Amino acid sequence: MRFEGRTIWITGASSGIGAALATAFAADGANLILSGRRPDALDAVASGLPTQSLVLPFETTDSDALPVAVETAWAWRGGVDMLVNNAGISQRSLAIDTVPEVYRRLIDTDLLAPILLTQLLLPLMAERGGGHVVAISSVAGRVGTPIRTGYCAAKHGLIGYMDALRAEVEQAYGIKVTNVLPGSIRTNVAANALQADGSRRGESDANIESGIDPAECARRILDGLAAGAREIIVAEGIEAGAAMLRFQDPERLFDLTAREGARLAAEREAGGGPGWRPDPAKVNRE
């Protein structure tokens, strides 16, 4: 069993990719620290695991709560072998309509929170002689996708932080660093996304509903981690192609995304301006 006996800490573990990762890691012998905002949901995940688990609820953007959380997590089994920064929130709104508070929340949740938690664990991992930091970014961390400007900014930033961190700690301290770039995974990410005014969207997208099953996503991530991959892309079709196109032919990618942006802008104008919402059936499908 590839992760037998290891202690793995997952944020955003109550549902979606986080819960699927907890199940997959436990099936492979790991002990889990499960964090998120909803203790009941975390307890439900923990109850189904065959290995030991610690439910450690906290709000990832509450920087004052992080030192105690790190101390508790580290003391549970004498260290943390792997941190999986998974907690996050998405966006579904054009920049022209989006209030500043949405950007602040996206940056706080998707970029600053994982950085601050990682920063607290780094000295402990270095002193211990190694560890592994994983960030669940997104294909949107490489491709600038319409109606996700704040989300893309945060996820691009997270990849940049992790890549630079790897350069500092991989050889110097034996700390592995891995970016994971999922595409459309069948979770509540679109339903929970922020709209232009900061409210919860409340409905999914067609591409999310037809996306990769979370259990399959988790399996691919574990396979990549076990193989020592520094970057793992979990995407299919046009999303997988776009991730590669960003380096192979960026001008073509920019043309493709600009056409999608123009379509959404025209839909907005026809739909009444700032009160417009993107049609879930058409998002990223044309």
Domain membership of residue 212 (yes or no) is yes
Residue 285: pLDDT above 50?
no
Residue 286: pLDDT above 80?
no
- The percentage of residues in the chain with a pLDDT greater than 70, rounded to a whole number, is 98
What confidence score (pLDDT) does residue 283 get? 64
Per-residue model confidence as pLDDT tens digits over 13-47: 999 999 999 999 999 999 999 999 999 999 999 99
Identify the CA nearest to 149 among candidates 103, 209, 213.
103
Domain membership of residue 254 (yes or no) is yes
Q: Which of 103, 151, 161, 173 is catalytic?
A: 151
Per-residue model confidence as pLDDT tens digits over 98-109: 999 999 999 999
Q: What is the 3-state secondary structure (H, E, C) of 205-238?
A: CHHHHCCECHHHHHHHHHHHHHCCCCEEEECCHH
What confidence score (pLDDT) does residue 159 get? 98
- Helices and strands (H and E) in the chain: how many: 10, 7
Domain count, the chain: 1
What confidence score (pLDDT) does residue 279 get? 80
The model's pTM: 0.95
Alpha-carbon radius of gyration of the chain:
19
Q: Is 151 a catalytic residue?
A: yes
DSSP state for residue 181 in the 8-state scheme = E
Domain membership of residue 83 (yes or no) is yes
Question: Containing domain of residue 267, as a range?
Answer: 7-275
Domain membership of residue 57 (yes or no) is yes
Per-residue model confidence as pLDDT tens digits over 150-185: 999 999 999 999 999 999 999 999 999 999 999 999
Per-residue model confidence as pLDDT tens digits over 113-131: 999 999 999 999 999 999 9
Max Cα-Cα span within the chain = 59
What confidence score (pLDDT) does residue 274 get? 77
CATH number at residue 135: 3.40.50.720
Single-letter amino acid, residue 25: F
Give the three-class secondary structure for 3: coil
Domain membership of residue 18 (yes or no) is yes
Residues with Cβ within 8 Å of 93's Cβ and at least 6 positions away in sequence, in order, are 102, 147, 194, 195, 196, 278
Domain membership of residue 282 (yes or no) is no
Q: What is the mean pLDDT of residues 50-56?
A: 98
Domain membership of residue 205 (yes or no) is yes
Domain membership of residue 283 (yes or no) is no
Ramachandran quadrant class, 125 (left: phi over 0; alpha: psi -120 to 50; beta: rest): alpha
Task: Indicate if the alpha-carbon torsion angle 233, 236, 241, 243 is positive or negative.
Answer: negative
